[in-house]
Structure 1
Amino acid sequence: MNIQIKPKEATAIINSLIGGVVPKIGVQHIAVGRSEEVDAFIKALDDAKNGHSIMKFWIGDFGSGKSFILHLLNTVALKQKFVVANTDFTPDNRLYSNDGKAVILYSAIINNLAIQTKPEGGALPTLLQRWIETVITQTASENNIPLTEIRDEKYLSLIQSNILKTVNELSDVGAFDFGTAIMKYYEGFITGNEDLRKNALKWLKGEYKTKTEARQDLGMREIINDLNYYDMLKNFCKLFVSIGYSGFMINLDEAINLYKIQNTATREKNYEKILTMYNDCFQGKIENLFFNIAGTKDFLENERRGLFSYNALKTRLQSNKFETLEIRDFAQPVIKLTPLNHNEIYVLLKNLQEIFDYNYKITSPINDEDITNFMEEIFNKPGASEFLTPREVTRDFLNILNLLRQNPNLDKNSLFKDIEIEDERVDMDLSYLDSIQEL
């Protein structure tokens, strides 16, 4: 086998792609045709490491690889020692709201925090503990207290004071409440009060619904809400960098759900929030923060409902007018994902076959000529040019491999001929959305 892959990665790749979703781990083993995008991204990561902040928009049709590229970028960023978080926009979360939908997005981001040793998320406790350890070490040094004694409960107030002081130095907005929550987390940890530790995590994740509840559990008068969650994300970024991480990368997929917001004023408020974040990044108001937003061409360019309906964003996000399909500019904020060509699809399927065989410890009855025949069949089907996506190609290919694995007597060529092309865009009726009356 030419691909060096871990068993867990192989299983994740096969199971996820058959299920029609992108695997959380191992995507680097099936990355083809995106080298220029990744090279440009690495350069942007270097800028973020050096104190700049970046916002990139990854634009493509359904099934074109937007989610895949975000997961690939995760792998690269984690190796570059970034803290990474991934979440999707849904009808229940967004960047701006006054009914709790923005803080739901925030909670998803914080719950999905990932680092290289915890690539699947849930890294917040680990990150807090690492940061607290730096404060403890610093406190012990400043007060000539042996490291073997500094965690004694009698030094609790001293550690808490330094936690709050250090957080206040990191940030101006919301720092006191942010620091108090971390302080409570440490108190629960050092005193063995598991409820206090969990409640502090709950506060930091934005999961308190009322100030009354937070005051009862933690003695805190404020909570993270729709209005201040963005400040808390910036606080976390500064916290991560102070530990020694390169920065904080936040990936927001399925941005078409912002396009789907029916109320014009609400939709524009969400676009205004994107504009605020964009300006903060490129005007140097924040450091070491990297946003990736993935959406369709309609989300970007539709002048009634897309980002281009908001003129301040349209002027910032229009493509380089000198760019062509052959001459690409990957340094600009908007990266348009072009379809994989047939040679790239072939390499992808070849890699998938190797991973499939490795995962099931078999030798599948598919050779290079069979892969070519499969591609000829599927790409010549009615509707292929309009509806066929890499997601559907890989899923059909793996489904056939699975059938052959379990039924060795099946005729593979007959399976190739039985493939049917369907429009995957069933969840998105743009013509209907464009025809309804704006609220």
Structure 2
Amino acid sequence: MSDQNQTAPRVPKRIAAVIINSLKGGVVPRVGLPYITVGREREIAALLHDLELVKEGGASFRFLVGRYGSGKSFLLQTIRNHAMGNNFVVCDADLSPERRFQGTGGQGLATYRELIRNLSTKTRPDGGALNLVLDRWVSNIQTQVTMEDGLAPDAPGFEAAMEKRIMAVMGQIQELVHGYDFARLLTMYWHASIEGDDEKKALVTKWFRGEYRTKTEARQELGVNIVIGDDDWYDYLKVFATFLKAAGYEGLIILIDELVNLYKIPNAVSRQYNYEKILTMYNDTLQGKAHYLGIIMGGTPQTIEDRRRGLYSYEALRSRLTQGRFAQGGLSDMLAPVIHLEPLTHEELLVLVEKLADIHAGLFGYTRTITQESLVQFLAAEFERVGADTHLTPREVIRDFIELLDILCQNPGMKADDLIQGDFLKAPVDAPVGAAAKKKHAASSAAPAEEHDRFSEFEI
């Protein structure tokens, strides 16, 4: 163990604090993921292959399917960080009752706004990178004119040479649906940049963010009779992906989580409209109608496979996404559109908790005393709890372990084995501690299994 502690990478306290606090709160940290990534090699390799496809001008679409706490969001965040590190632009959004793909109350446009708000690059990883991207595009054009055409910014033909190059980019974009409108606004942004008109740049940025509610408002402020709306926002994202390549990036990666919020839509017709929008995105990527665009969506098994309310209730999607006869018995096709996340093995979880023990000790400045034998005993106790075989996920294990480390840190005289052998790990999974919890678990166990699963999907 001492050898492992000596070779463990030192985690900066700022990052260590984010890792520990995020995991204890049940959410995925935005930074520091390489320090705690274990397993998922096959899934990560498959998604990285998709990035290479997007980089070459293609498009990809994947669903990540797993129970709550199984690691969907963690994997999405891992791919997000890798994509940004490889010069992709990434945008992500969690669906909610207010954010869908389609809706009568502007829910589709709300999703677009969230995606653009979270637009991120390597140099702006926390979102809000829209202006950075637009300014880089203008700067790249200026650099090309200077380096390739040999014209200084104050040369007589400099602006004409810039316009010629910009028009070439516009020609590529205008061939796409809504490309002409998009190109028109890009041209406005370029002119505003050249003239130093920050107010006009802000108005154009407002348009790209989808914040104009009516055409009248856009006409009054920008002189254009077009706005991004609830029905066509996805078309503009496709145009944006092509533009990003011209701006010097590799492409656009869109990450959508919490598909369960579509499953929860009570109106069947509204659900079908949203599933139809997903089908459009899926078809575009596979049929070559989108370029430099990758889409990854995360959902629970029931959200995808339920034939009454899930994606499989829409026959056109079910026929495309359902796995074939050979992907059975533990054999997974990582090139299929749906990637099912298998549980982490006990060995992978052991590596994970060991990493967390080192990070926790480094964060709070104490010498780690918990042994590998105690870590094994902790995991054994976790998986012996009532309901662990069907309900225990990495999220619960990690949360319990960080709580264990916190208690040991605050009570130096206490031993890990005494806590692990105590009563708190014997409580049913996802149930409060005590006799009331045991009574509640016994009552729920008496219900049919399918009913229990049906309701557990909504325990976010």
TM-score, length basis structure 1: 0.89
CA contact (8 A) 2:169 2:246 kept: no
In 2: Cα distance, 1:350 partner to 1:387 partner? 23
Match of 1:437 in 2: none
In 1: Cα distance, 2:214 partner to 2:165 partner? 28
Whether 2:338 is the aligned partner of 1:334: answer yes
Deviations 1:44-100 (A, max 9, x none): 222222222110011011111111111111122223322111111111111122321
Match of 1:230 in 2: 234
Match of 1:32 in 2: 38
Q: Superposed, which structure 2 residues align to 1:9-88 within 5 Å?
A: 9-88=15-94
Whether 2:425 is the aligned partner of 1:423: answer no
In 2: Cα distance, 1:144 partner to 1:33 partner? 51
Match of 2:136 in 1: 130
Cα gap change, 1:131 to 1:119, in 2 (>3 Å): same
CA contact (8 A) 1:307 1:313 kept: yes
Give the C-alpha shift of residue 343 in structure 1.
0.9
Helix, strand or coil at the partner of 1:57? strand
Whether 2:356 is the aligned partner of 1:349: answer no
Equivalent of 1:263, from 263, 267, 279?
A: 267
Cα gap change, 1:362 to 1:193, in 2 (>3 Å): farther
| One-letter amino acid of the structure 2 residue matched with residue 60 of structure 1 | G
Give the C-alpha shift of residue 291 in structure 1.
0.6
Cα gap change, 1:183 to 1:407, in 2 (>3 Å): farther
Q: Superposed, which structure 2 residues align to 1:15-414 within 5 Å?
A: 15-138=21-144, 145-148=151-154, 163=166, 166-172=169-175, 173-414=177-418
Task: Indicate the larger mover: 164-173 or 208-217.
Answer: 164-173
In 2: Cα distance, 1:161 partner to 1:224 partner? 27
Give the C-alpha shift of residue 187 in structure 1.
4.4
In 1: Cα distance, 2:42 partner to 2:182 partner? 40
Give the C-alpha shift of residue 328 in structure 1.
1.9
In 2: Cα distance, 1:215 partner to 1:226 partner? 19
Match of 2:3 in 1: none
Gaps of 5+ in 2: 1-6, 432-450
Helix, strand or coil at the partner of 2:29? coil
Task: Indicate the larger mover: 191-200 or 360-369.
Answer: 191-200
In 2: Cα distance, 1:353 partner to 1:365 partner? 9
CA contact (8 A) 2:140 2:248 kept: no
| One-letter amino acid of the structure 2 residue matched with residue 359 of structure 1 | L
| One-letter amino acid of the structure 1 residue matched with residue 173 of structure 2 | L
Cα gap change, 1:414 to 1:195, in 2 (>3 Å): farther
CA contact (8 A) 1:113 1:123 kept: yes
Cα gap change, 1:151 to 1:178, in 2 (>3 Å): farther
TM-score, length basis structure 2: 0.85
Gaps of 5+ in 1: 435-439
| One-letter amino acid of the structure 2 residue matched with residue 271 of structure 1 | Y
CA contact (8 A) 1:52 1:286 kept: yes
CA contact (8 A) 2:26 2:395 kept: yes
CA contact (8 A) 2:65 2:72 kept: yes
| One-letter amino acid of the structure 2 residue matched with residue 345 of structure 1 | L
| One-letter amino acid of the structure 2 residue matched with residue 341 of structure 1 | T
Helix, strand or coil at the partner of 2:409? helix
Equivalenced residue count is: 428
Deviations 1:146-191 (A, max 9, x none): 2256899xx5x98678646633432332233323333343444444
CA contact (8 A) 1:18 1:398 kept: yes
In 1: Cα distance, 2:295 partner to 2:428 partner? 35
CA contact (8 A) 2:151 2:157 kept: no
CA contact (8 A) 1:13 1:26 kept: yes
Give the C-alpha shift of residue 358 in structure 1.
2.3
In 1: Cα distance, 2:157 partner to 2:243 partner? 21
In 2: Cα distance, 1:345 partner to 1:131 partner? 44
CA contact (8 A) 2:385 2:429 kept: no
Cα gap change, 1:130 to 1:179, in 2 (>3 Å): same
In 2: Cα distance, 1:151 partner to 1:31 partner? 53
Give the C-alpha shift of residue 236 in structure 1.
1.0
Helix, strand or coil at the partner of 2:312? helix
Deviations 1:338-371 (A, max 9, x none): 1111111111101111222222332233221221
In 1: Cα distance, 2:42 partner to 2:121 partner? 25
Helix, strand or coil at the partner of 1:291? strand
Helix, strand or coil at the partner of 1:340? coil
CA contact (8 A) 1:151 1:190 kept: no
Deviations 1:212-266 (A, max 9, x none): 2222222222111112211110111001111232221111011111111111111
Whether 2:9 is the aligned partner of 1:3: answer yes
In 2: Cα distance, 1:107 partner to 1:429 partner? 36
